[in-house]
Copies of this chain bind each other. A is one copy, B any other.
């Protein structure tokens, strides 16, 4: 069997919601042993987050399932001194710690960088937050939509009369990748020097970096450009036609990216386009250009236009639904959709890590865990005796899943039996 890149690397994972869990899942796919620390009982907050207002038949949140494979779950009450003792005993075996509580919360509980490096001097400790661990927004709630709003992304998106956030949680997703980069970089440094360190990422900074091209336009163009969303639907304030989405006769859509207007003029039999071929005109008259092309694409089907334009190597693609994307032949070819078998939850569909290493491919070993599924195993690895573990379970400091557990979410396994609406228990998290 081929070894994973991070085989033997242990990550103690205090994260919740999306950013942290998605980042550590990627590292778990590369072979790391990720120990997910959750609240006793119902476990992590994301287990109670519905999609389309719903949970799976087994009562699990699809969102939670998507972000937590290849991890082991330790459900433990971090506020308890006995929990702290157990985790401190685990620390000598831990290479990486990662957390995304609001700044300061975990420090106050005794799990900050200074406390944990005392037990493991070369630990790589990564914090992810909404805005950073210091500065004017340190007390504010940090979350994907809020970071999008502050970062300028909402006002750049949407139509002329309605700004729109990005539907998918791109702040969370991109910051998850920053978490992975931060930790891998820390491990490279540790392998080269033997030294650990503290490293921080945050949602707002990541979105600023993701928009570095358009910010460079603000910083380097004089006079500073105006950000006006297009009337006709050119996707971004800084882009020219033909860039955009075009309706077709069969009520589908066609995407056309940057392409020379003179070539499009010939291929679409639209000589009027030639008047806009300069960069300046392609920008200043983008709505006219878009409407001209739109009128033509409505005259035939998506399949026709894709075939016609691809034959001339025009940069275009059919617009597909997410369900079509899941069944797309290239997505299948890339083996991005996987199924994992869980003894209680049944078959769980997940999306693979999209990095294809020739010598050390990502592996998919464990289905997303039930809250506390590995509490005993992890504590035993920390050196706790069976009697010590039993005492923690008896005291409720550590929990295991009930025998008939359904995995959190909409199920009835929580002590108070309540349904958890989005945000019903806002966690002390900051992305």
Contacts and interface: CB of A to CB of B under 8 A. Distances in A.
A157 B154 CA distance: 12
Given A218-B326, A315-B146, A205 B336 contact: yes
A105 to B, nearest CB: 14
A202, A315, A330, A356 — most chain B CB neighbours (10 Å)? A330
A149 B354 contact: no
A417 interface: no
A144 B257 contact: yes
A108 interface: no
Nearest to A153: B168
A300 to B, nearest CB: 17
B170 A325 contact: no
A220 B357 contact: no
A136 B320 contact: no
Nearest to A146: B317
Contacts of A148: 255
A141 to B, nearest CB: 4
Interface in A189-219: 189, 191-193, 195, 197-202, 204-206, 208-219
Interface in A337-355: 337, 348-355
Contacts of A236: 167-168
A52, A57, A189 — most chain B CB neighbours (10 Å)? A52
Interface in A319-339: 319-326, 328-331, 333-334, 336-337
B220 A151 contact: no
Assembly stoichiometry (copies): 2
A311 to B, nearest CB: 11
A101 interface: no
Contacts of A395: none
B421 A331 contact: no
Contact of A282 (B184, B284, B421): B421
A333 B135 contact: yes
A279 B349 contact: no
A318 interface: yes
Nearest to A425: B260
B209 A336 contact: yes
A314 B141 CA distance: 8
Interface string A155-177: 11111001111111110011001
Nearest to A63: B213
Interface in A244-263: 244-245, 253, 255-261
A386 interface: no
A233 interface: yes
B257 A351 contact: no
Interface stretch (A75-83, A222-230, A376-384): A222-230
B315 A151 contact: no
B132 A51 contact: no
8 contacts: A51-B221, A52-B238, A66-B212, A148-B255, A162-B233, A168-B214, A260-B422, A261-B421
Given A154-B255, A167-B237, 18 more contacts: A53-B282, A56-B220, A141-B257, A145-B257, A149-B245, A150-B317, A152-B324, A152-B326, A155-B319, A157-B164, A159-B159, A170-B174, A178-B355, A187-B188, A205-B354, A218-B322, A277-B421, A315-B423
